[in-house]
Amino acid sequence: MYLQDSLDPNMEVHITSPNYPNTPPAHAECIWIIMAPAGKEVQLDVGPRFDLTPSRACLTEGLEVRDGGTEEAPGFVFCHDLPHTQKSSGNTMYVKYYTNSDTPNTG
């Protein structure tokens, strides 16, 4: 995943699932709360690889992206297709990777 700083559009920060590009531990969870300076936004681009176990309602593995700094903020969970670019409406974004699998994919 790539995060872009709207103060410096050339600055990217990379975050990955645990142990990437190898398989993460079973039942892993990582949460990032990303904050940009006041008046700026956070942009999240995922790719080029997105390797999660598709499941009904994304119960097995997923990438949760929320427009705000909490798990109650509005957002989406992705587990099937590569997510399109996500932009926050404010300066904070909540990102959570999780797997409930004994044998997860690489993330």
* Buried b or exposed e, range 65-91, using 16+ CB within 10 angstroms: bbbbbeeebebeebbeeebeebebebb
100: left (phi over 0), alpha (psi -120 to 50) or beta: alpha
Residue 1 has pLDDT above 90, yes or no: no
pTM, whole model, 2 decimals? 0.88
Tell me what percent of the residues of the chain surpass a pLDDT of 70. Answer: 90
Residue 16 is predicted with a pLDDT of 85
Which residue, chain included where needed, has tokens 């598709």?
54
Give pLDDT tens digits for 22-71. 889 999 999 999 988 888 888 898 888 888 888 999 999 999 999 999 99
